[in-house]
A and B are shown apart, each in its own frame.
Chain A
Amino acid sequence: MIKITDQVLDTQAIINSVEAPEGGAINVFIGTVRNATKSKQVLKLEFEAYEPMATKELTKIVNQAKQRWPLLKVAVHHRVGVLAIGEVPVVIALSTPHRAAGFEACQYIIDTLKVTVPIWKKEFFEDGEVWVAAHP
């Protein structure tokens, strides 16, 4: 299941949602808000999404992953809004018959998400704020 939400992500519930009787492995990626960028202290992050398109692009990525690896169930949840240090903006969980495919598929999904899905984050510092990756 793919979801963009302004609610706190329930990592355990997301993991449970991909349990499958044929599964031999569940692979999980949890993104967390880091306290610094290039040694500069970050106070908080704000995420926003172009929601229908973000869901559409995430669905494409999951479908591509399903064509490449034998995935049983996949969940990708991304949070929007203001997040404090240590909070979780993204959880990807997927079940596979064997672990190798799970690691590869999970990495593919997060790496591609960061390139194609219309979600933006702004970092807040003591002395200002910056849209991440916007400028060279």
Chain B
Amino acid sequence: MISVKLFGVTRDIVGRPILEIQENVETVGELKEFMMITYPRIKGLNSLMVAVNSEYAQDDLEIKSTDEVALIPPVSGG
């Protein structure tokens, strides 16, 4: 199981700040795919990044159950 932190528009789409995923999601790419299939509105975003242990992660990175995982929708600070 992985636990995914949600911020901004992705938190609004999913409707909660943390999503527990029981399904078999092994990589960052699979997580993005899972999120887009489960929550189709995520496909409409300008971009979707994933952070693993608070670093931007590539699609081929494997996710371990102990990792801190977060979805990063388009940022807009400043």
Q: A-side interface residues toward B, CB under 8 Å?
A: 31, 47-50, 52-54, 56, 78, 89-90, 110, 113-122, 131-136
Contacts and interface: CB of A to CB of B under 8 A. Distances in A.
A135 B77 contact: no
Helix, strand, loop or mixed for chain A's interface?
Answer: mixed
Contacts, number: 81
B71 to A, nearest CB: 10
Given A48-B7, A122-B8, A131-B9, A136 B46 contact: yes
Contacts of A49: 77
A134 B46 contact: yes
B55 interface: yes
Contact of A110 (B44, B51, B73, B78): B78
B45 A135 contact: yes
Instruction: Give the interface residue-count category, chain B.
Output: 20 to 34
A135 to B, nearest CB: 6
A121 B78 CA distance: 9
Contacts of B76: 114, 119-121, 131-134
Contacts of A31: 78
B54 A52 contact: yes
Contacts of B12: 131
Contact of A113 (B8, B46, B74, B78): B78
A120 B54 contact: no
B32 interface: no
B2 interface: no
B28 interface: no
A47 B44 CA distance: 22
Contacts of A136: 44, 46
Contacts of B55: 53, 56
A136 B7 CA distance: 18
A120 B8 contact: yes
B7 to A, nearest CB: 6
Contacts of B72: 50, 118
